[in-house]
Structure 1
């Protein structure tokens, strides 16, 4: 009999699955806030009585473009993290093995990209 068949994990896989789900929900919330900041910045018109209309329009457009890049990066990172969560939950349901190293690397990269996007969106916000 193998060690995996003898081992009784109890509720550990279920608790791990629930914690991954809560983490994913928090990541979706961060992603939505980044998208909201981009939408708000894109919807604000440039004032007509602007002392330096050329520079202000360029700076406003650049900020909106950078917030759009942050929103896109956050969306890609959230999709990567969602796929990591789904893979880990599937793995937990079928075995009690440790997560694959590649899964951890992808999840870490997703968290770093999402965190960087959030910080950049905050810095670019008005």
Structure 2
């Protein structure tokens, strides 16, 4: 099913700005995870927490990179046309957000 193109106007610009704000919020969450990992210290290695937090930090970084690519691709698409976002792009962004949320929850649980 093909979605008809949207009318011209400010909507593409607002959408691009919203994606950018979302990415900024996710980068902040990413930084909190990295901070938790850095402050966990080498003494937690014996308990296995250091490795788990490191895994959470790596997953958060990977998710943020995927989201950054999605934002850049969608921004470029919106500059040239107002067609709907491709399904693969939206699935990638959704998977990255879910992975980032899971790593954030895990980092909070492990950081306590």
TM-score, normalised to structure 2, is 0.91
Q: Which runs of 5+ in 2 are unaligned?
A: none
Aligned to 2:36: 37
SS at match of 2:85: coil
Q: How far 1:42 moved relative to its partner? A: 2.3
C-alpha distance after superposition, 1:43-94 (max 9, x if no partner): 5x47xxxxxxxxxx621xx101100000000000000000000000000000
* Stretches (4+) displaced over 2 A: none
Match of 1:49 in 2: none
Q: Secondary structure at the match of 2:95?
A: helix
Given the alignment, which residue of 92, 99, 104 partners 1:113? 99
Mapped partners of 1:68, 1:26: distance in 2? 21
1:70 aligns with 2:56: yes
Contact preservation (8 Å) 2:7, 2:82: no
Find 2:46's aligned residue among 58, 61, 67.
58
Q: Rg: which structure is higher? A: 1
CA–CA distance in 2 between the matches of 1:42 and 1:82? 29
Computed over aligned residues only, the root mean square deviation of the Cα atoms, in angstroms, reads 1.7
Equivalent of residue 98 in structure 1, options 84, 98, 107 = 84
Aligned residue pair count:
109
